[in-house]
Structure formats: structure tokens, C-alpha cells
Amino acid sequence: MIDLAERAREALAKFGLRQLDIWRSGEPGALPSLAARAENDPDVALGSSPAQIRDRIVAAVPVLEGERLGTPLVGANGPFGYVEFFNVGKISLGIAAQLEAWSDDIALALSAERVAHDMESPDRGSILIADDDANIRRLLLALLGRRGFRATAVGNGADACERAAAEHPDLILLDYRMPILDGRETAERLRSDPRTRDIPIIMVTAQSGTEEKVAALEAGAQDYMTKPFDPDELVARIASHLRWRSFFAEAAASPEQVVADPTPEPVAPSAEATSATRSPADTGEDALWIAAAHAEQLGRHADALSLYLEEAERAEHRAQYARAAIAFRSASAMAGRQQHADLSNKLLRLAGKMYLTLAEDSKQGHDIADAYVNAAKCFLLAGNLQLAKKSVSIAESMTSVIADDRPSSLS
């Protein structure tokens, strides 16, 4: 790890400077940050503002103005920082050349450090970006590159289909409104192509209403983001979908396992499970359920599975454990219809865990008993007899587990 503060102090003494500032670029759209400063007179304010430094990083050219010299830090992927030198008197051309050479050495060292970090860091996956706005493409390429993803970008839906078929990315970020093919048409074409139908899609839309979001899900997208989006949320969504993609791949690796008996049919969340946790502002809460049910009716079981899983994750995040459990059971049914026994059982176990969490979270005795009963059902169907027995012992009756095969209505 390069100690920039120490390097700045060494240069200050070596060249007899008054002040030296080292700036580093931040996330796309953010202002650069001051990484290190060395100064001989802290009572005298010198230096440029972050906004000024940002413009100079973009310009990427040295600037010599009397007592001040500014030099960009440039690596293999372009400028990533800036150094400002402040002298007591006017900086001569000879000293300026030495300072530029020192700045180049710092840029080289930082670039080498970054390459070493990237080599040691695990590859987080490949992302295909499809957006007709060049600024958005550059922003996303920079953001995802910094977060450990391999990203490529195209400017329209037709190119997205061609690139996806050729490169098989792990996930596609798809703008809803594009020329040639819009996001909905592109998603439908990707879903109809055997080479790309299993690639998860996150649709990016400028509309905050539910109509366009539901349309995106119906077209085959697993998720959607509204512009302007939060970079951390986008990366978290991408990471979540890639985890599920890995989960599916693990289950598909055992095609010899088939489901002899279908798992419980998918069910809609009970009125008690949904209304108790819905706020007046949460107008689009059932969009995923609607899209999942629609996909199931059309026989698109893989799409329905993904939608139910997304609903389960969101419900768990909101502490809606009954809703999450039912979503996991519905996803299990979809996995069973695709003859993925192992995946179906895993999802049933996740449903059981949600019921156990509900039991621990509930304060009503009747609800606790119902939750343990439903947990036992899920564990029994998944073949986990040990957990089933523990749940049954708390629920007090194995008969109550077998008598009713449907989840009880839980508030």
C-alpha cells in the first residue's frame, strides 16, 4: 500500500515546495477527494476546489501558472487523479519537468497497485450494459469496473441481443427506452433465444410508475431500477441476481434428479400477510406477484421462478416473513415443474427458515404455533427430517402437520 502522505512530505522537502496536494477520482458523478496533503505553512489556504480539480482531471493536461503547477495522474484506463504543486516563487521550466516526472512515478505506482489488487480480487462477473445515452454508458462502465465487474456496453437493443448471444454475460442492464429495439422488445427477444434466455435482466427505466415496471417484468426482466439510481443499490441488486444465477447453476448441475411428486402449488399471499405490512405509499408491492402469476399461466416457469425469488428476497428484507415463506414455496413449485429436485428442496428449506423466523418474531401464541407447523411441513417435503421433528415437537403434534397441506393464514 502506497503511503501518499509520506511520499508528499518527501517531495515537499526535496523540491523545497510550499504545499503539495494529491487528489484521487471518486465514484462516477462524485467529486474527487484529497488523498494527501503536505504543507509548510498550514495557516495559508492554497489549492483548488474539488469541482475545479474534477475539470482538470477530465482535461488531463499539465497546467503551469507562476507559482503553481498541476499535473494529471494518468493510468492505462485514463486519468484517475491530479497533483498540485505550490512553490514559494515562480516555478521554472526545469523544476516543472522534475515535478512532472515525480508525478508520473506516483501515477505508475498507483496504477501498479491497482493492477495487483485486481489480480488478487475475485472476478464478480460479466455485465452487458445496453443504453443509448453515452454518458450513462460511461458512468456504468466506470462504476462496475471499480466494483470488480467486467463490463461492456452497447447503444441499442439490437446490438445487445447480438452481443449477449456472442459473449454470454452473467447479467444484462437494459435501458427501457432505446432506438431500433426498446427495452421491452429486447427482453422478449433475449428470452426467446435459447442462447440468452437464462441471462438475468435488470431493466433501467426513467418512469417511477408501476405500469412500465410491470411491463418490464412481463417482458422477461427479473428486476428494474428507476433513474436516477443509487450506485450502491444498483451494485447490490446486481450481486443479488448473480448469487441466484450461481444458485440455479448449482442445481442444474444434477439433471439426473427429478421430482417424483410435485411440490405444493404456488399460492398468493394471504390478505393478512400483505395488508398488515403495506403502507399507503407502497403502491407497487404486488407487481412481482402479478408478473410471476402471469408468467406461470403462460408456462414460463423459469421466469416465474425468478420473480417469486425476487419477491421472497424483498419480503425478507422488509421483515415480511410470512410473505417471504409463501414466495419461496411458490418458487419451489416452479423449480419442481422444471424437474430441478435439488433446487426445489433448497427453496422449501428456505421457506421453512422463514416460518421459523416468523415464529421467533411473533408475539401471539397461536401465530407461533402455526408458524412452526408450516416450517415442519416445508422441512418434511424437503427431506430434512431432523428440522421437521424439532418444529413438530414445538408445535406438539405430527398429525397437525400432515392434516393440512396448505400454509395457514398468518398475520
The pTM score is: 0.43
Distance CA 227, CA 48 (A): 32
Q: Are residues 386 and 362 in the same domain?
A: yes
Q: Which of 120, 140, 161 is the last residue of a domain?
A: 120
Would you say residue 347 has pLDDT above 90? no
Would you say residue 167 has pLDDT above 80? yes
Q: Is residue 411 part of a domain?
A: no
Q: Is residue 27 part of a domain?
A: yes
Q: Are residues 110 and 8 in the same domain?
A: yes
Where do we find the cell 427501457?
Answer: 176
- Do the Cβ atoms of 187 and 223 come closer than 8 Å? no
The mean per-residue pLDDT over the stretch 270-292 comes to 51
Edge-first strand order for the sheet with 201-205 is: 150-154, 126-130, 171-175, 201-205, 223-226
- Do the Cβ atoms of 397 and 403 come closer than 8 Å? no
Q: Which of 66, 112, 60, 63 is nearest to 87 (CA)?
A: 66
Q: Are residues 274 and 368 in the same domain?
A: yes
Q: Are residues 227 and 301 in the same domain?
A: no
The mean per-residue pLDDT over the stretch 238-267 comes to 53
CATH of the domain at 263: 1.25.40.10
Provide the grid cell at 142.
466506470
Provide the grid cell at 59.
482535461
Q: Are residues 136 and 105 in the same domain?
A: no
CB-based contacts of 299, cutoff 8 Å, min separation 6: none
CB-based contacts of 131, cutoff 8 Å, min separation 6: 137, 140, 153, 155, 173, 175, 178, 204
For 379, half-sphere exposure in the C-beta direction (CA atoms, 13 angstrom radius) is 22
Q: Find out whether the peptide bond into 228 is cis, omega within 30 degrees of 0.
A: yes
Q: Are residues 114 and 81 in the same domain?
A: yes
Q: Is residue 409 part of a domain?
A: no
Q: Are residues 264 and 396 in the same domain?
A: yes
Burial 169-193 (b: 16+ CB within 10 A, else e): bbbbbbbbebeebbbbebbebbbee
The kind and range of the H/E element at 296 are: helix 287-297
Give the per-residue pLDDT at 265. 43
Number of domains in the chain: 3
Q: Is residue 41 part of a domain?
A: yes
3-state SS of 335-362 is HHHCCCHHHHHHHHHHHHHHHHHHHHHC
The mean per-residue pLDDT over the stretch 209-230 comes to 74
The residue ranking higher by pLDDT, 343 or 406, is 343
Residue 173 pLDDT class (50, 70, 90 cuts): very high
Q: Are residues 228 and 337 in the same domain?
A: no
Using alpha carbons only, give the angle 51, 53, 54 rounded to the nearest 5 degrees: 65
- DSSP letters for 232-282: HHHHHHHHHHHHHHHHHHHHHT-TT---SSPPPPP-PPPHHHHHTT--TT-
Q: Are residues 227 and 268 in the same domain?
A: no
Give the per-residue pLDDT at 317. 78
Q: Is residue 410 part of a domain?
A: no
Q: Are residues 344 and 267 in the same domain?
A: yes
Q: Are residues 295 and 334 in the same domain?
A: yes
The mean per-residue pLDDT over the stretch 242-265 comes to 49
Q: Which of 249, 284, 305 is the last residue of a domain?
A: 249
Would you say residue 252 has pLDDT above 50? no
Distance CA 232, CA 250 (A): 27
Burial 323-361 (b: 16+ CB within 10 A, else e): bbbbbbbbbbbbbbbbebbbbbbbbbbbbbbbbbbbbee
Distance CA 184, CA 223 (A): 13
Give the per-residue pLDDT at 208. 59
Distance CA 135, CA 96 (A): 34
Q: Each residue of 84-101: pLDDT tens digit?
A: 999 989 999 999 999 999
CATH of the domain at 73: 3.30.450.40
Q: Each residue of 382-395: pLDDT tens digit?
A: 877 777 667 666 65
Which of 108-117, 189-198, 399-408 shows the lowest mean pLDDT across its residues? Answer: 399-408
Provide the grid cell at 43.
495557516
CB-based contacts of 172, cutoff 8 Å, min separation 6: 127, 128, 129, 130, 160, 164, 190, 199, 200, 201, 202
Q: Are residues 260 and 398 in the same domain?
A: yes
Q: Is residue 382 part of a domain?
A: yes
CATH of the domain at 203: 3.40.50.2300
Q: How far apart are the first and last CA of the chain?
A: 53
Give the per-residue pLDDT at 29. 61
Give the per-residue pLDDT at 83. 96
The residue ranking higher by pLDDT, 32 or 213, is 32
Q: Which of 74, 104, 120 is the last residue of a domain?
A: 120
**Which structural domain, as residue segments, surrounds residue 53?**
4-120
Q: Is residue 408 part of a domain?
A: no
Q: Is residue 320 part of a domain?
A: yes
